[in-house]
A and B are shown apart, each in its own frame.
Chain A
Amino acid sequence: MRYIYQVCIRLLVFLCILTFLNTSYADDLNHDQKIEFFHTKVKPVLEQNCIRCHGGETEVKGGLHLTSREKILEGGHYGAAVSLENPTESFLLEMVGYSQDTAQMPPDGKLDDDSLEILAEWINIGLPYPTTTDDDQPILHTESDYWAYRALKRPNVPSVQNTDWVRNPIDAFILAKLEQTSLTPASPASKQALIRRVYYDLTGLPPSPDAVEAFLNNTAPDAYEKLIDTLLQSTQYGEKWGRHWLDLVRYAETNGYESDSDKPYIWRYRDYVINSFNDDKPYDEFIKEQLAGDELDTVTAGTIIATGYHKLGVWDTGPADRKLARYDYLDDIVSTTGQVMLGMTIGCARCHDHKIDPISTQDYYSFLAFFHDITPHNGGPLADIGTPEQKTERDRLLTEKRIAEEKFHDELFRIQEDIKIELAKGHTEPISPEIKVSPIRDLTYRFYRGVFEQFPNDFNALEPTAEGRLFSNLFTLTPANPKKNIGLVFEGILQVPENAIYTFHQNLNGENRLILDGQLVSELSGNSDTQITLSAGDVPIRLEFFNKDLDKPNLDISWSGPNFTKQPLSTNASINFGKLLNTHTDYIKSNESLKSLVNKYNEVKQQRDQRSRQRVPYVHQALAVSEKSQTPTHILRRGNPHLVGREVKPAFPSVLNPSTVVIPTLPKEIRSSGKRRVFAEWVVDADNPLTARVMVNRIWQYHFGRGIVRSSNDFGLLGTPPTHPVLLDWLASEFIASGWRIKAMHKLIMTSNTYLMSTQNNPKFLQLDANNDLFWRFNMRRLAAEELRDSVLMITGKLNPKMGGPSVFPELPEEVLATASRPRNVWGKSPPEEANRRSVYVKVKRSLLVPILNQFDQANTDSTCPVRFSTTVPTQSLTMLNGKFINDNALSFANRMRNEGGADLKEQVQFGLRHVLCREPEQVEIQQALTFMQELQQHDSVSSEVALNRFALLALNLNEFIFLD
């Protein structure tokens, strides 16, 4: 029933169109509207369905070329394809309408009704067809000559008239297009505007007044280049550009859904990203590490952490349909990877072939097959990523802890037994109903832990780890902890009732010796019965037991005699000690020696508990990818995991004419399929037409506010076409030639005159090109959420520059915490100086957002975020006027003005504005502040101190502070 409503309506519309066919309305559309109709409606239909066979340069099927109006009218082997006189009788419509049994196009299935309508309407309005486009590309793209799928070729730098303006080749590309129009580049930005722009672009922070002054006074010809170099070397660079990447990969530190549980150690991935940018890691390596860091030739802690990429998405711990959830999880990886690394919305082909782009469902599942064996979030253990030294140290600490805990166990056990014995002394009745009668008395144990390789002949020659009495008077393994590599020696007196033959039934799986009256009775493992004659009275009994490596040692002995059968001499049970103490509280109070024993017990127990609580931290674990056994991937019909279709093998999207996938066998120590590595290598292959284009476009976007392709996650037909396709190709070629170095691209872009332009408006140009498609000036932008928060902290002098590590928790208002279902446990607490770290280190919890970051359009974390929104709403103003964060900081800022600005109020204001605006304030601006404060004092009766506090708040709200020229 899918689309049934729409189909019905569309059919109606279609019928209506047909009804109107012979009216004259068609003539009322002007030429531009008709061409627009072709571009938006007809072209996609042709490209997706027809052009594969009817668009080639040389041979086409049936001789019919659909690549120009003339050729269509000319027709193919079967005559004219279109009749302009009788549009409805056009042969083309007959073919696509499937009205004949033999002549049906396209052959693999009838077009949907939408497309049929469009073709009919197209013919009806006279078959409009544009002639050329800007860049002399074919109007209709066969799939492989679509601009984004075309092989990357380094274009020639165009020649321009105004060569003076060309600082580097970028400018030639920009100017070449401008010179085709009446537009000219804007004047260069002032040095003040430039340093602020450059600082924010590269570090996300404002320049200090000293930095501004130094730059303004530096007249050296390379002053600007030096500035860029310095900032590219700063660690703040990675924090700014790493954040861009984190937006793309929908980085968050919790899983979302019902429990929104933490993703352990995922902050290591955040640090990995920041460090990678700071280290100028080549982009191809960066991609390979994230996709397949566990499968590379050299696997390091860093490459393992990088694979946390696969664990960043949302994950439902308790899904309604586990199978569906599994494929939702994989889809999330496929969609994100497709959009982020390739600019392909491949995720759209999950349920049906992509409606617009040449991506089939088969492509989708073949793509998914590369990731199919990844374990879900909780499926694999955390990866061990420590250095050998860290591992040794951790092992040492663990051993130390274990030994300490064992000692406590031995001592506690001994005291417990002593207490029971003492307790029994004062009672005639059994002290606990669980107590069994034993024919043995005065039974002692000696416990030996891990001191020997094999069953010792002479335990007496060895030093026991622990020894004591056994209250139960039965052999038992309870003194042993652990149970492996241990020896136990029991000695007691067996009370033999009469002279007779007795049978000892043994079921011991460790090695053992049973000695009665000094004589070895038995030393067999397993089930055995041994008969021995004993005389009435006390007979010394001794049992030696040894377990090397059995997981479940067993100690089970009983005996039988003339008048009794199978009386146990051993036990597995233990009395509940806490309960025992509770039962006899009063008696214990009355007995001094018992009291001191119990006190001792409690004391040791407390020490034990304290020691146990001291965790040996996992200093070297990471949430990383892992794979389980390989299972075949199937096409799922309509995306439904319960409708399993045919099997597919890993393959790259067919539209890119890829090579066949060969998955090499990996060495045994790598416990994964190797598929992701093959995928990663294809992504960063220099022949992949998309990867470099997509990434340089992003770099451009983050500098200029918009990409050359505005839809930076979608290079397909639904995306926006590039405004400067040739420049894009040139940049992509440069990028690869530089060894995929991102910093080299920054330097290249930022040293162009294009980047150096001011944001100055030109009303005439604005009218001609309101969207600045031609880059005739630089685009203003608002600070991003993180830049805003970080700048406030920086200006007020509170920003803590510490890098890396677990995320921090800035204080949140009660009202915000109350929105969580567990208001008290939902958010952590960081000391103030930690809370004042850069926003990239603030905890990213999917179900609880930090208001100031959320309100200023931080990235949505549930799907990839290629472009931040930049919204303006009153609630932002409320936060910036009344919020605790801003008011606390305004106060600190005012104090800073007082303490560092100078004695004079005017100087203080000057100091404040200098910090906020990153320039020398003008006299009139200072004067305005002074008047403001005077009025506050005169009319609102506030003190001079408070007046300055208010001015500090005002300053942090200035548009000039929040927007960049």
Chain B
Amino acid sequence: MSSQSETYKTTKSTSNFCGQTRREFIGNIAGGFASLALTGLLSTDGFLESQVFAEDGVTPYQNPLSPKPSHFTPKAKRVIFLFMYGGPSHVDTFDYKPELIRLNDKTVQVKTKGRGGERNKGRIVGPKWEFKQYGESGQWVSGLFPHIATCVDDIAFIKSMTADSPLHGSAMLMMNAGRIISGHPSLGSWVNYGLGSENENLPGYVVMLDRTGGPISGAKNWSSGYMPAVYQGTVFRSEGEPILNLKRSEDVSDSEQRRLLDYLRKYNSTHLSKRTDNTDLAARISSYELAYKMQSAAPEAVDLDSEPEHIKTLYGIDQKETEEYGKKCLLARRLVERGVRFIQVYSGGAHNDDNWDAHGGIERNHNKHAKATDKPIAGLLKDLKQRGLLDETIVVWGGEFGRQPTAEYAKGTGRDHNSYGFTMWIAGGGIKGGISVGETDELGSAAVINPFHVRNLHATILHQLGIDPNRLTYFHGGLDQKLVGVEGAEPIWQAMS
């Protein structure tokens, strides 16, 4: 890790004080943050407010989601996180391990830890799909993803991911919020806290769930933790009413509602006139106008009918298996176009084979979920690219962990969880395409070369958005909390172009 720190130092340190003169630097320390004593010189440079709402609850109102400047020039403006809930098998998808083919069905010594506990040996299950090299860069992709295979020159594969837990509940919390302990804000909350949202008519942090249900722990996965609820994810649906309570009650016409809002404003303005100093009152008045605008902006955003047929085909919306995920990916693109900052699209929900959790048999499970997502994801990447949006949008793919090279049971091809090593990929937003970073051992059981923790992935995403992951802090419980933890984390420099 120290070599990466060096990298950071030489790459990011500047000859002046983050672009300020020394006088400004000291002046800012003295002037702005009296209540946040000794939070470290660098976090007090005034570029980023350390806290939008003080915990005292009396700090004057400002729209917490209004856009905020980043620490430095960002490479990306927005994030689409394609969450393969349940944990896709890296050795069956992108992490090619010929050794597994040779050892298929043989019992070998290998240390694993999953829901079934720790084991020291197991029966190897070879990859069930043929791997081939694709693109100019020659990245390996299995037969599960023929469409994504055509996009590999835009993708950086991180093949040495590690996480702290091989169990869904805590691993989901880690991938979403950086800790296995409940109660911390999720990545999307941090991004919106740090940067605000570009479109006030839409939520800044959108989550789209699988038809079968939410992931384990439900709303905890898009929670804002100890931050205000304004930073939590808003569940968006690709069918029906996109946001809860967005639609007027059926028997209320638009003009009726408009009239109601006009009269509401009259009453509220009279009330405000004697209390003009209270910005909360004014904010609440304007929030009704925003809500009204949202009622038309959100349905417009989800109106996929306005898309031409060839685009729908590109996302696989014309086919039954790919329709659901295709719609969500297309919706993600439309939200990106409209300035939504962070979008998370779940593949898989509920329990067992409703998601990528292939305990029973790898083939049936992964065929189903790969089929449902391959074309939509490739469509999304291509569509973003052809619109010039990929440059400013980071697309992240992966689950909360990977799967073991060995079988979970005496018979069959089911694989247990694996947090010792797995693959995630990122594309767009200044990420270098056509590369693989890090490696697992020859069985794919654990990351051995350049291992990266989930925190490094989070740091990478924040960094590309122009945020220094080690300076984005929120004061809570006596500590300056960070997404990347008190110890901090380096971005994955190798993945950046």
Residues of A within 8 A of B (CB): 1-6, 8-10, 12-13, 16-17, 20, 25, 28-29, 32-34, 36-37, 39-41, 43-45, 114, 117-118, 121, 125, 256-260, 314, 316, 318-321, 328, 335, 339, 345, 347-348, 351, 354-357, 705-707, 710-711, 713-714, 716-718, 720, 759, 761, 763, 766, 770-772, 779-780, 782, 813, 815-816, 818-823, 826, 846-849, 851, 854-855, 857, 860, 862-864, 866-879, 881-883, 887, 925, 928-929, 932, 935-936, 939-940, 942, 946, 950, 953-954, 957-960, 962-963
Contacts and interface: CB of A to CB of B under 8 A. Distances in A.
A775 to B, nearest CB: 12
Given A847-B220, A954-B260, A8 B13 contact: yes
Interface string B229-264: 110001101000101111111011101110110011
B34 A13 contact: no
A851 B243 CA distance: 12
6 contacts: A718-B37, A823-B213, A823-B214, A862-B182, A864-B477, A879-B244
A316 B229 contact: no
Contacts of B476: 863
A1 B57 CA distance: 36
B165 A258 contact: no
Among B182, B263, B486, which residue has the most Cβ atoms of chain A within 10 A? B182
B69 interface: no
A963 B294 contact: no
A819 B214 contact: yes
A867 B55 contact: yes
B42 A40 contact: no
A939 B259 contact: yes
Interface of B: 1-2, 5-6, 8-9, 12-13, 15-17, 21-23, 26-27, 29-31, 33-38, 40-42, 53-58, 60-61, 64-65, 115, 164-171, 173, 180-183, 200, 203, 209, 213-220, 225-226, 228-230, 234-235, 237, 241, 243-249, 251-253, 255-257, 259-260, 263-264, 266-268, 270-272, 275-278, 280-281, 283-285, 287-288, 290-291, 294-295, 349-351, 419, 470, 475-479, 486-488, 490
A959 B281 contact: yes
A876 B287 contact: yes
A870 B230 CA distance: 10
Contact of B245 (A13, A879, A928): A879
Given A5-B9, A782-B280, A13 B42 contact: yes
Nearest to B237: A815
A878 B56 contact: no
A345 B53 contact: no
A821 B214 contact: yes
Nearest to A255: B182
A710 B217 contact: no
Contacts, number: 361
Nearest to A718: B478
A957 B264 contact: yes
A348 B479 contact: yes
A716 B478 contact: yes
Contacts of B5: 1, 4-5, 8
B29 A40 contact: yes
B284 A846 contact: no
Contacts of A871: 53, 64, 228-230
A941 B36 CA distance: 58
B192 to A, nearest CB: 12
A958 B248 CA distance: 18
Contacts of B9: 5, 8-9, 12
Given A13-B42, A257-B173, A813-B244, 15 more contacts: A1-B1, A3-B488, A5-B470, A9-B13, A44-B38, A705-B57, A763-B277, A780-B275, A848-B218, A870-B280, A873-B65, A881-B291, A882-B245, A928-B266, A957-B264
Contact of B35 (A13, A29, A720, A862): A720
A878 B243 contact: yes
Given A12-B9, A335-B477, A950-B260, A882 B246 contact: yes
Contact of A29 (B27, B54, B203, B477): B27
Contacts of A17: 22
Nearest to A32: B30
A857 B228 contact: yes
A355 B235 CA distance: 39
Contact of B264 (A354, A849, A876, A954): A954
Contacts of A932: 259-260, 263
A815 B235 CA distance: 9
Given A16-B17, A882-B248, A959-B281, A9 B27 contact: no
A1 B2 contact: yes
B290 A874 contact: yes
B351 A822 contact: yes
Contacts of B37: 39-41, 43-44, 356, 717-718
Contacts of B12: 9
A253 to B, nearest CB: 15
B245 A40 contact: no
Contacts of A855: 229
A821 B350 contact: yes
A316 B169 contact: yes
A311 to B, nearest CB: 16
Nearest 5 CB-CB pairs, A to B? A345-B478, A862-B183, A258-B169, A320-B165, A877-B291
A821 B351 contact: yes
B190 to A, nearest CB: 16
A30 B154 CA distance: 53
B425 to A, nearest CB: 24
B167 A318 contact: yes
A960 B270 CA distance: 10
Given A6-B42, A869-B229, A953 B260 contact: yes
Contacts of A320: 164-167, 170-171, 180, 419
Contacts of B41: 10, 13, 114, 117
B488 A822 contact: no
Given A37-B29, A320-B165, A874 B23 contact: no
Nearest to A826: B218
Contacts of A256: 182, 217, 220
Given A9-B42, A33-B31, A959 B268 contact: yes
B256 A818 contact: no
A29 to B, nearest CB: 6
Given A114-B38, A328-B181, A960 B271 contact: yes
B219 A878 contact: no
B61 to A, nearest CB: 7
Among A25, A40, A314, A351, which residue has the most Cβ atoms of chain B within 10 A? A40
A257 B170 contact: yes
Nearest to A863: B183
A771 B58 contact: yes
Contact of A959 (B21, B219, B272): B272
Contacts of A314: 181-183
A711 B279 CA distance: 22
Nearest to A856: B229
Given A860-B225, A863-B477, A36 B56 contact: no
A6 B40 contact: yes
B256 A940 contact: yes
A310 B360 CA distance: 39
Contacts of A863: 183, 226, 476-477
Nearest to A946: B251
A10 B12 CA distance: 12
Contact of A820 (B29, B115, B214, B280): B214
B167 A319 contact: yes
B8 to A, nearest CB: 5
Given A345-B479, A928-B267, A942-B256, A846 B38 contact: no
Given A10-B42, A356-B37, A711 B285 contact: no
A962 B275 CA distance: 14
B229 A935 contact: no
B58 A878 contact: no
A135 to B, nearest CB: 17
Contact of B218 (A815, A819, A876): A819
